[in-house]
Amino acid sequence: MDTLKIYAAMALASLRARLEYKVAFFAFLFAVIFFYLAQLGALLVVMVRFKEINGWDMGQMAFLFGLLTFSQGFAALFFNGLANFDRMLIGGEFDRTLVRPLSPLAQIIVSKFEVSTVAHGIIGSVALYYGAKLSGIHWTFWKAAALPAVIFGGVLIQGGIRLAVTAVAFWTLKNESLVHTVVFSGKEFVVYPITIYNDGIRFFLTFIFPLAFVNFYPAQYFLDKRGETLFHPALQGLTPLVGVIVFSLSLWAWKAGVDHYQSSGS
């Protein structure tokens, strides 16, 4: 209980620090919202021109985008502080987390909350709502119950990917380019349905870099697109399990990195 109070105090201090400079906070919030609105606008232009993308209409595309963005918001809230982890290593800041009787990873998470990621949640929830409405999703009890589980699995997948990329820094020290390539650019592959890609990329986004489980496979279930099965229809319900597997493997890589770590001496 005392440990939880310490984490809560660190998280509160982080939130206060982020909100201290209100102009910078709201400017960044506006920038994030503008970025996603621009991305949605570009998607809208494509949909108006072509009406559908490989069998996915405007409502279905919006729902696909909403699943990705909404879960990305939660992943960024908890794991965005890992984006500059290589600087913590080089500057010796990570050493301070090792001398405290607390989990180093938990300390980083609670001390570096990025509350501006609420923008992801706003855009994601709007896209989910209108996507579901436009595509005429018939909400059954099982679909309603599956939605939070899918969001949770999507958060674990995206958070696990961030954590795995972060762990690389224990061996390479610098991983900034890898973060931008894998974490920030990688998600662009699943803004569109993965059926537009060849078999090799579909396999990669399913079994190697499983971002397709964040939105594509669960969207197939919610939208009743069972005639568009890739590999096996059971994949539509595996997002929570894949999330647990990805995050567990990433956590193992993180722990291996901590064991390998030697202080920078700064």
Residue 237 burial by Cβ neighbours in a 10 Å radius (0-12, 13-18, 19+): middle
pLDDT value of residue 177: 75
| 108 in Cβ contact with 97 (< 8 Å) | yes
Where do the domains of the chain lie? 2-260
Q: Provide the b/e sequence for 120-140 (b: ≥16 CB within 10 Å).
A: bbbbbebbbeebbeebebeee
pLDDT value of residue 76: 85
pLDDT value of residue 9: 74
pLDDT value of residue 239: 97
At residue 235's C-alpha, the angle toward residues 240 and 72, to 5°, is 45
pLDDT value of residue 261: 84
Q: What is the largest CA-CA distance in the chain?
A: 59
Closest-CA residue to 259 (of 100, 104, 84, 78): 104
- Token reading at 14: 């982080």
Dihedral class, residue 103 (left if φ above 0, else alpha if ψ from -120 to 50, else beta): beta
Alpha carbons 239 and 217: distance in angstroms, whole number: 8
pLDDT value of residue 181: 78
**Alpha carbon of residue 231 to chain centroid:** 24
CA torsion angle 32 34 40 41 (round to 10): -160
The H or E element spanning position 226 is: none
pLDDT value of residue 91: 81
pLDDT tens for the chain, 266 residues: list them.
577 777 677 767 666 766 666 676 677 777 777 777 777 777 777 777 777 888 888 889 999 999 999 998 888 888 887 878 888 888 888 888 888 788 888 888 887 777 667 777 888 888 899 899 999 998 999 999 999 999 999 999 999 999 999 999 889 878 777 777 787 777 888 988 999 999 999 999 999 999 999 999 999 999 988 766 677 888 999 999 999 999 999 999 999 999 888 776 54
Alpha carbons 225 and 228: distance in angstroms, whole number: 6
Q: Residue 56, SS3?
A: strand
- HSE-CB of 28 using CA atoms within 13 angstroms: 12
Alpha carbons 150 and 129: distance in angstroms, whole number: 16
Q: DSSP secondary-structure letter at 207?
A: I
| 178 in Cβ contact with 162 (< 8 Å) | no
Backbone angles phi, psi at 56, to 5 degrees: -105, 120
| 167 in Cβ contact with 253 (< 8 Å) | yes
- HSE-CB of 117 using CA atoms within 13 angstroms: 18
Closest-CA residue to 33 (of 126, 112, 113): 126
Cβ within 8 Å of residue 19, ≥6 positions away = 25, 115
